[in-house]
Amino acid sequence: MTNFFITGGAGFIGSHVAKKILENKKGNAVLFDNLSVGKRRNIPEGCEFVEGDIRDKNTLIRTMKDADVVLHNAAFVSIRGSFEKLEEDVNTNCLGTLNVLKSAVNVGVKKLIFASSMAVYGEPRRLPVDETHPLEPVSPYGLSKVRGEMYCEIFKEKFGLAVTVLRYFNTYGTNQTESPYVGVMTTFINQALKKQPLTIFGDGEQTRDFVWVEDVANANLLAATKNVTGVYNVGSGIETSINQIADMIINKIGGKKTYSEGPKGEVKRIVADISKAKTALGYEPKGKLSELIPEIINWWKAKIEG
C-alpha cells in the first residue's frame, strides 16, 4: 500500500488529488495544510489531516516520515497578489518548497510531484506552448515557480530524488475558495450570483487554457503511479477568451460585464501543448466548459444559500 503525502491537501487542487487517490484505491493519503486558504470541509473522508505549514521543516519531517510519494501542491497562488505580497510569495513558494524537498530526502521519499504553473512561460513566443518553450516569467509568482522547478532539478541530480513537474494551466472546478486572487471563473460566478457586474481586466480578449480540476487531479495520480519523471503541461489544449467565459456565465445566471485597466503580470494569450503528457502519462482531459459551468454554478449557489 502506497503512502501519499499531499501538501496543500485541504486546498482546491490538493483535496481533489486526495479524493482521486482514494477513489482509485491507490493507497493512503496524509493531507498537510495550514488552512490559510484550504478548508477542513474539503478534506475527503478517509484521509489523515495534519495542520502545518511548509515553512516549518520540523513539522514536515515528523509528519512526512512514512511517505512514499509526496505531491507538493501547497503554494502562495496568485500572479496579481505576488506583486503586493512579494515576501510571502518567496517564503512560501521558494523556501517552503526547499523545506519540502529537504524533508523528502531526509525521510527517504521515493518520488515527488511538484505543482508548477503556466506562469513560468511568461508571454508566449509561440502557441501552443510546449515544455521546451523558454521560461520568461513576467510576475514574481512565475519566477518563484521557476525557482521551485530548479530546486527540484538540483535535488534530482544531487540526491537522486525522482521528481515530476506538472505545469498547471487555469484550473477550474468545485472546492475553490473565493478571494481577490482566485480563478476568474469562481470570481465571475460569485459576482453574477450576488447581482454584481462581472469585472473584466483589459478588453477581455486575452485567452487562457481552462482545465478541469478533476483532470489536474488525474494528472497527479498518473504522475505519481507511473515510472516516469520529467516536466509536463497540464491543460485542456483549448484556447478560450475571458469574454467567452463571462458570456457563458451570464447566459446561465444573467448579469453584465464591466471593464477595467489590466493588472501587471498578465499575458495576452496562452494555450498548452499537452501532447507530451498524453504520450508519457496517458493524460486525457475530459472536462468540457459548457457542461461543467452549470455544475459549478449550482455548487456555489448551494454554498451561498447554505
Question: Is residue 270 within 8 Å of 160, Cβ to Cβ?
Answer: no
Reference 268, options 200, 204, 212, 184; nearest CA is 204
Distance CA 210, CA 13 (A): 14
Instruction: Please provide the DSSP assignment of 39-86 as one string.
Output: -GGGSPTT-EEEE--TT-HHHHHHHHTT-SEEEE------HHHHHH-H
- Rounded Cα distance, 156 and 301, in Å: 45
Q: How far, in Å, CA of 245 to CA of 255, rounded?
A: 13
- SS3 for 106? helix
Instruction: Indicate the length of the chain as a whole number.
Output: 306
Q: Which grid cell is 139?
A: 510576475
**DSSP state letter for 203:** T
141 is known as an active-site residue: yes
3-state DSSP assignment of residue 282: coil
Given 141, 181, 232, 283, the catalytic residue: 141
Residues annotated as part of the active site: 141
